[in-house]
Amino acid sequence: MKKIIELLKDKKRLWHIIFESDDVPSRTFDIVVMFAIIVSIACAMLESSLHVDDFSINSIFHQEMTVTGIIKIIIIVMEYILSILFTVEYVLRIYCSPVKRSYMLSFFGLIDLMATVPQLLSIFFPALRYMSLMRAFRLIRIFRVLKLFAFINEGYVLLMSIKQSMTKIIVYFLFVISLVIVIGTLMFMIEGGVPGSQFKDIPTSIYWAIVTLTTVGYGDITPVTSLGQFLSSLVMILGYTIIAVPTGIVSASIIDETKKRGVNGRCPRCDRKTDLHANYCKYCGEKLK
Amino acid sequence: MKKIIELLKDKKRLWHIIFESDDVPSRTFDIVVMFAIIVSIACAMLESSLHVDDFSINSIFHQEMTVTGIIKIIIIVMEYILSILFTVEYVLRIYCSPVKRSYMLSFFGLIDLMATVPQLLSIFFPALRYMSLMRAFRLIRIFRVLKLFAFINEGYVLLMSIKQSMTKIIVYFLFVISLVIVIGTLMFMIEGGVPGSQFKDIPTSIYWAIVTLTTVGYGDITPVTSLGQFLSSLVMILGYTIIAVPTGIVSASIIDETKKRGVNGRCPRCDRKTDLHANYCKYCGEKLK
Amino acid sequence: MKKIIELLKDKKRLWHIIFESDDVPSRTFDIVVMFAIIVSIACAMLESSLHVDDFSINSIFHQEMTVTGIIKIIIIVMEYILSILFTVEYVLRIYCSPVKRSYMLSFFGLIDLMATVPQLLSIFFPALRYMSLMRAFRLIRIFRVLKLFAFINEGYVLLMSIKQSMTKIIVYFLFVISLVIVIGTLMFMIEGGVPGSQFKDIPTSIYWAIVTLTTVGYGDITPVTSLGQFLSSLVMILGYTIIAVPTGIVSASIIDETKKRGVNGRCPRCDRKTDLHANYCKYCGEKLK
Amino acid sequence: MKKIIELLKDKKRLWHIIFESDDVPSRTFDIVVMFAIIVSIACAMLESSLHVDDFSINSIFHQEMTVTGIIKIIIIVMEYILSILFTVEYVLRIYCSPVKRSYMLSFFGLIDLMATVPQLLSIFFPALRYMSLMRAFRLIRIFRVLKLFAFINEGYVLLMSIKQSMTKIIVYFLFVISLVIVIGTLMFMIEGGVPGSQFKDIPTSIYWAIVTLTTVGYGDITPVTSLGQFLSSLVMILGYTIIAVPTGIVSASIIDETKKRGVNGRCPRCDRKTDLHANYCKYCGEKLK
């Protein structure tokens, strides 16, 4: 107890344990948190799978509970305990951060916020309880905890590639969104009034256009008229080129980024391992980024 | 009023306001038009979603309207007002263009034509009213209005890449069209007469072949015989390679174009920002395109 | 008549007209053949779409024909006339070829064979009549007839890229075929005996595995058990990488081939147009292939 | 018989026959095994397709068997004979391997294990009999048996490319798994309680998220609410980029590997055939890998 209070006073040490992952206490903390996240995901999955017909507070006191019902209650109790622990963790994270805003607006900070706040509201809206699964993203840190540097490095290359592609992809998405609006509208004009057609309004038709252009093709909405099938065919053949563009953008970025960083984090000139974030190869001075 | 008449006389100024986007009045014009387009899209979407059972002029005068019906009427009235404004805008665009034909045959000119003319005909064919959604393509200009040069530049690189791929893709599509005709026919020969089969004629079978080769796979038409399933399997495995080709074409173009233009509009030699449409880097003289 | 006999004697001239496409008679011949192919495709499509309930020779003589029936008869007659013309063409092609075997075993020779022979057998098996649509592949020659050299050149680059990828893709397909056999069998073991399951035998399960791995996803066969859905999920996530490989192979080939040939058939060194099949640039001597 | 005993004593010779494929006896052995595998696959496929209503030992002795039933029995007997032969082969493989563990833990060793052991257990669990189809992977060795060196070489390039991509792809998959958990949960919160919705629990919703993100799109589970369709649309448009990443990774690897090895196993400098696994071109000394 005393130790905990001491730790709470030593913000720097606490920050190190919670945010870093390079000594025994900090790695233990990370592993415990990851384990808790996995348990939390498993609980939510299991709970949602247990369908109990009559599930009310009343039934608990009247000893009419089935085994499934009892398991469900145990799981829900576990979920609430985990929720409290996660809330404490979130408060600690904010408390020990030197620049609180910078943590709260970081990727993992936003994830934690979205996973924690709804749980406080889940007393009123029970469905919000599942928002705690947002924490699944934190599992990506496993490579850092396990000190798998090759994976961290490759992940960094991927992240850089996607960042570099972002501007092109945003421009492209705006074009795709305009396109699906137009295609959806045309389709609604063709199939809208036809009896038996599932194109019941423009938003649904746009949804169909997205399903088709991305080649997902659920088949919940399909054209029934010949003209509709003809337009669909055109859209699909067009989709061939449409789907090729983001692939091309990302491929070009990854090829470019790999060339800069070297394959598997090796210098493209001397083929020796480079440090992560390094701008120049420390062996031969080759510019890396 | 006087100002408007003055402006109508000064064609050059009017042209600048309508077509350009580099000072306050011209940017205001663009933002107003974009806002009108978004409202117009929202109206059409909402209107198509409101299903009123008894919707006739008669019901208006007999006070039998439901709330939904009244909202629908308001929306339709708004759509007609917007239509008139867009028509005025289109007339102004033609009026102030120095070379009228060149505007009318440009990409945005054709979009405007296809969005405006059907609205004049929508008195006779109400469904044509939705053609105004063609204007969604104009939203792509947002980057220019907001002066997001990085996006404009990347969009230009993408456009060039697609243009460069166009010849290859057209050749490829002719091949794909021949292929789907042959596959569709073979499938019709196999499954055509089988009871319960949805391959009811050759055009439908060709539609199926396109749905399958593009990996959309709605599932509205599926083979029921073993031979049909075997041919489908072949078509799908073939489709693996088929879908790889346009991706390869576009990837090659984007990689090539990125190399020429430099990543994110930077010179590949000196890594400094290059101007859009520049043929040589203005800092080091490197040939860009 | 005399002219035709004369032409039939002058094999070399006849060969030129039929196989080449560089003067007026030979181009006229090609255009007539293409037009005939398009008419033939249109006829087959239309005929298959006309569903006549009572369609027998008997009904013709008893004047009970409907309008649809009469149209269908006219189309079938047209198809038989076209068949005769195509057969004559095929015989002429063999007749005038200097090396008959070399034509018969070429791509277009085999297409012609597969399109012609079944028509002679279609008196016994009417469905074989549709095999004449195999000729759709001949439409690809349009670029040569219309002297669109840019398209011919790009088509040639594509062909070379695909040829170059062929060995890799064949190895890959053998792997994919082994994989779908194994996945299909596993799935059959999981879902085979479950009531309501569509995995009724191993071939059907393999068909499902192909539908899933290629991301076509008809949805005619889907897992119903939790274990089946779990295996499916693994297969789909695996399919992510699986589908990436042929795309990577073809992309690498196209990039390589484009580099060799230059973009749009231009020399990579001097940027001037190169001749098709040229090994060296005729302007600067750069090795092209 | 004596010869066999002699061979069993000469472990080195036996190992050569079973594992290598470069003289007549060893190639004959490989071809026999491959033929047996194909027969075994064909048997399992056929057997699973024959649905016999009353199929019990009893019916055999009461002469009530149908023709289908008799065929099924013959096939099952054949499968058991093949099983015994494969088991003998597996034992021989272990017996003659100089380092037994190294064979047992190799890719083909594990395949053989997974294909052989379940067959011994199939007396208790008949469904396990089908596990023998795991051997389908062994068919990939066909290229080695038929001495198709070009294919072996290209297969090697592919394998290297995939190995090189593995780290990136694993990082990526962990991200995708986190993403589908979050998307699935959000979708369950939206559509979970809606009547007629197929999103009955979180695991099913995650399965849906995988089906959608991979663009498989069975359509067995589809959103029914507007909000659900809106989220789906976002997921699909996101999926555009998601699916592009592994393709980009693999493309970059194949391009890189092809550059190193040269196209079609040729040296990138002198364009002459290189040996498999060679580090330097034997003609010009160019570093290959």
Query: pLDDT (tens digit, 9 = 90+) per residue, A175-186?
Result: 899 999 999 999
Q: Rounded to an integer, what distance in angstroms lies between the CA atom of residue B27 and that of residue B20?
A: 8
Q: Which two tokens stand for residue C244?
A: 């990436």
If one counts every other C-beta atom within 10 angstroms of the C-beta of residue C49, the result is 15
- pLDDT band at residue A139 using 50, 70 and 90 as cut-offs: confident
Residues of A in contact with C215 (CB under 8 A): 215
Q: How far is C-alpha A157 from the chain's CA centre?
A: 19
pLDDT at C229: 92
**How open is the CA angle C80-C85-C86, to the nearest 5 degrees?**
95
Low-confidence residues of chain D, pLDDT below 50?
none
User: For residues D42, D47, D50 and D55, what is the CA-based torsion angle, rounded to 10 degrees?
Assistant: 170
Q: Average pLDDT of C255-266?
A: 67
Q: Which two tokens stand for residue D268?
A: 């990138």
Q: Average pLDDT of A70-85?
A: 87
pLDDT at D205: 92
Q: Which residue of A has its CA nearest to C215?
A: A216
- What is chain A's mean pLDDT, rounded? 82
Q: Name the residue facing D217 among B217, B247, B251 (closest C-beta).
A: B217
Tell me if chain B has a CB within 8 Å of the CB of D218.
Answer: yes
Q: Are C190 and C227 in contact (CB under 8 A)?
A: yes
SS3 C266: strand
| Subunits in contact with chain A (3 or more CB pairs closer than 8 Å) | B, C, D
End-to-end CA distance of chain B: 49
Tell me if chain D has a CB within 8 Å of the CB of A130.
Answer: yes
Handedness of CA C204, C205, C209, C211 (dihedral sign): positive
Per-residue pLDDT of B194-237, as tens digits, reads 888 888 889 999 999 999 998 888 988 899 888 999 999 999 98
Residues of A in contact with B162 (CB under 8 A): 241, 245
More confident residue, C258 or C207: C207
pLDDT at B182: 92
SS3 B276: coil
Rg (CA), chain B: 26
Q: Which two tokens stand for residue C118?
A: 């079944």
Per-residue pLDDT of D147-190, as tens digits, reads 777 788 888 888 888 888 888 888 888 899 999 999 999 999 88
* Closest to A137 measured CA to CA, from D33, B36, D182: D182
Q: Average pLDDT of A227-248?
A: 88
Tell me if chain A has a CB within 8 Å of the CB of C230.
Answer: no
Q: Where do the H-state alpha helices sit in chain C?
A: 2-9, 11-19, 24-49, 57-61, 67-96, 100-104, 107-121, 142-145, 149-191, 202-213, 226-261
Q: Average pLDDT of B142-153?
A: 79
SS3 C273: strand
Write the single-letter amino acid at B254.
I
Handedness of CA D214, D215, D219, D222 (dihedral sign): positive
Distance from CA of C137 to the nearest CA of B (A): 5
Strand partners, C280: C287
- pLDDT band at residue C289 using 50, 70 and 90 as cut-offs: low
Tell me if chain D has a CB within 8 Å of the CB of A56.
Answer: no
More confident residue, C287 or B142: B142
Per-residue pLDDT of C250-260, as tens digits, reads 888 888 877 77
pLDDT at D275: 63
Write the single-letter amino acid at D115.
A
Q: Are B218 and A222 in contact (CB under 8 A)?
A: yes
**Kind and range of the H or E element at A280?**
none
Tell me if chain B has a CB within 8 Å of the CB of D25.
Answer: no
| Subunits in contact with chain D (3 or more CB pairs closer than 8 Å) | A, B, C
A/C interface, count of CB pairs below 8 Å:
9
**How open is the CA angle B80-B82-B86, to the nearest 5 degrees?**
115
If one counts every other C-beta atom within 10 angstroms of the C-beta of residue B6, the result is 11
User: For residues A78, A80, A83 and A88, what is the CA-based torsion angle, rounded to 10 degrees?
Assistant: -100
Buried-exposed string D46-60: b where 16+ CB fall within 10 A, e elsewhere:
bbbeeeeeebeeebe
- pLDDT band at residue C184 using 50, 70 and 90 as cut-offs: very high
Q: What own/partner pairs with CB < 8 Å and gap ≥ 24 does B194-202 have?
A: B194/B224, B194/B225, B194/B228, B196/B224, B197/B223, B197/B224, B197/B225, B197/B228, B198/B222, B199/B223, B200/C51, B201/C45, B201/C48, B201/C49, B201/C51, B202/C44, B202/C45, B202/C48, B202/C49, B202/C130, B202/C133
Distance from CA of B210 to the nearest CA of C (A): 11
Q: Which two tokens stand for residue C34?
A: 């293409």
Q: Are D234 and A207 in contact (CB under 8 A)?
A: no
Tell me if chain B has a CB within 8 Å of the CB of C126.
Answer: no
Q: What own/partner pairs with CB < 8 Å and gap ≥ 24 does B51-59 have?
A: B51/A200, B51/A201
Q: Is A64 exposed, middle or buried (0-12, 13-18, 19+ CB in 10 A)?
A: exposed
Is the pLDDT at A70 greater than 90? The verdict is: no
Contacting D residues, span 159-188, partner chain C, CB-CB under 8 Å:
161-162, 165, 169, 173, 176-177
pLDDT at B181: 92
pLDDT at A184: 93
* Closest to B289 measured CA to CA, from B269, B260, B247: B260
Q: DSSP character for D199?
A: -
Residues of B in contact with C211 (CB under 8 A): 217, 232-233, 236
CB contact under 8 A, B219 and D218: yes
Q: Is C77 exposed, middle or buried (0-12, 13-18, 19+ CB in 10 A)?
A: exposed
Q: Rounded to an integer, what distance in angstroms lies between the CA atom of residue C213 and that of residue C195?
A: 25
Q: Rounded to an integer, what distance in angstroms lies between the CA atom of residue B173 and that of residue B150?
A: 32
- State how far the alpha carbon of C21 is from the alpha carbons of A168, B236, C152, C161, in Å: 44, 35, 13, 26
- pLDDT band at residue B53 using 50, 70 and 90 as cut-offs: low
| Percent of the residues in chain B that have a pLDDT greater than 90, as a whole number | 14
Strand partners, D266: D273
Strand partners, B280: B287
pLDDT at C276: 57
Question: Angle, to 10 degrees, between the axis of helix B11-19 and the axis of helix B2-9?
Answer: 90
Residues of B in contact with C219 (CB under 8 A): 217, 219
At D75, give phi and psi (nearest 5°).
-65, -45
If one counts every other C-beta atom within 10 angstroms of the C-beta of residue B177, the result is 17
SS3 B231: helix
Q: Average pLDDT of B145-165?
A: 82
- State how far the alpha carbon of C2 is from the alpha carbons of C46, C96, D24, D185, in Å: 38, 18, 65, 82
Q: How many residues make up chain C in this entry? A: 289
* Closest to B93 measured CA to CA, from B71, B74, B113, B77: B113
Distance from CA of D187 to the nearest CA of A (A): 11
Per-residue pLDDT of A147-165, as tens digits, reads 777 788 888 888 888 888 8
pLDDT at C275: 63
Per-residue pLDDT of C80-117, as tens digits, reads 888 889 988 898 888 888 888 888 888 888 888 888 88
Q: Where do the H-state alpha helices sit in D54-148?
A: 57-61, 67-96, 100-104, 107-121, 142-145
Q: Average pLDDT of B28-41?
A: 90
User: For residues B208, B210, B214 and B216, what is the CA-based torsion angle, rounded to 10 degrees?
Assistant: -40
Q: How far is C-alpha C257 from the chain's CA centre?
A: 23
Residues of C in contact with B233 (CB under 8 A): 206-207, 210-211
Residues of A in contact with D218 (CB under 8 A): 218
Residues of A in contact with C247 (CB under 8 A): 247
Q: Are D269 and D285 in contact (CB under 8 A)?
A: no
Q: Rounded to an integer, what distance in angstroms lies between the CA atom of residue A37 and that of residue A86?
A: 9
At B266, give phi and psi (nearest 5°).
-110, 150
